[in-house]
Structure 1
Amino acid sequence: MNYPHHPQGQGTHWQNSAYPPQYPAPSPPPRRNTAGIIMLAVSGVAIVALIVAIVAVIALNNNTADPPAAHASPDSTAARTADDRPTATSDTRTEDSDQVADDTGSGSSPVFPDAMDGDWQGTMSQYDMSGNLESRWDLELHIEGGESTAEAELSMSNGRTCTWGLLVTGSGDDSVDLQYTTTNDGNGTCTPSGHVHIVVKDGQLLVGVATEQPDGSISTADGVLNPS
């Protein structure tokens, strides 16, 4: 066997010699890091212990937790619902009904007093905001006691007539408040709407009217009506 080069300080004579070549001895292998192996082993033990603890906790929770609602029997659910639902006693229902009645009054719409029943007519005097007389016109009312609506007819000095539809918005034993809506304006003679207040006294109707004019001013009218 021929080596490509000779060891330092030796010649070719060593190839046929009884003495082996004097190559340097190989370096020993690196020593293992035993500390790393120990740390890895300890870490593995800790991980295993943690997994065991987690499994134990999950098992314990499964044994002590309430069953899912989806698995509850319909009978037991219905029983719990019926037992837990608050029930109103007859006294409570009566008190609630009384409270509703108090809040809504009599529970019926305001109406004309019976003393206003019949047909009425008279002359109304109309004034501007300064109290100056503007005009006079005749008013006829057709009222049924106990009703909430009525009709009025107006006759102007120029020969034109208007018609009102009346709605009771408030009433007392001898008075009513009304909202009027003009259903026939006499070719623009009468305003579209306004308010009326009527008091029955000594067999007569004392009537007051408030109306907003097209220019934004307020005009008023009053008069006394007698049975017709």
Structure 2
Amino acid sequence: MEKRSAALVETLRSQIERLEGRTARARDVLPFGLPEIDARLPGGGLALGSLHEVAGGGNGAVDGAAAALFTAGIAARTKGKVLWCVTRQDLFAPAIAQAGLAPGRVIYVEAGDEKSLLACFEDGLRHGGLGAVVAEVAKLSMTASRRLQLAAEGSGSIALAVRRWRRQTEAADFGQPTASVTRWRVSVLPSRPLPVPGVGRARWLLELIRCRAGECADFEVEACDGKGRLALSAALADRSVAPQVARQRTAG
């Protein structure tokens, strides 16, 4: 009798999850296409229908711009329109386009304050049909992040919170717990020198500082290309091959 009851409960739970769409969405991820990064993420990529946070590694505008471009690269690899919510008119659209997010895909919403921005963020997620919803927020409480996470789960759209601060004292909020599935920090690194005069592809230190059901890690990557894709830094790629070559020589 107990086994039958347990089986019945499990069957009902599975049916409810299928009706709510949770089972299908739980398996949906957006991979980076780099095994070194995807292997650190449960399911092999960024979970769709979930909230993710991104911030610059420092308080300067350069790292903040890198965080926005990293976010744009993620949004560029989704399907459908992208809603981008801001409180300041300082987003450089041509740079976003170079990260793979075409202007025709982006709908910009300017909110008057943080409260209105969070409301637009949540409404955009609950609307459904969007590839991604991005919002540039200074503060994100546990209550607000839970609402955003539930809204993302309900629609299946990926929620990307770009953490930006007007003053340095607000940066401490980034260390507070939230309901986000992953939390990233992006810092600018010097470009690799070219054999000819010019500026090489931008490079970032990408830190995964929180990952639900996963591990923290950091990577040196080359910035998003015209399709929103990252590349592993050539120096790291060479380093990862070297031990294999050494073992082969030893075995020989």
Q: Name whichever structure is richer in helix by fraction.
A: 2
TM-score range, shorter chain: under 0.3
User: Could you tell me the TM-score, scaled by structure 1's length?
Assistant: 0.24
TM-score by length of 2: 0.22
Higher strand share: 1
Q: Which has the higher contact order (CA 8 A, sep 6+)?
A: 2
- Considering only CA atoms, is the larger Rg found in Structure 1 or Structure 2? 1
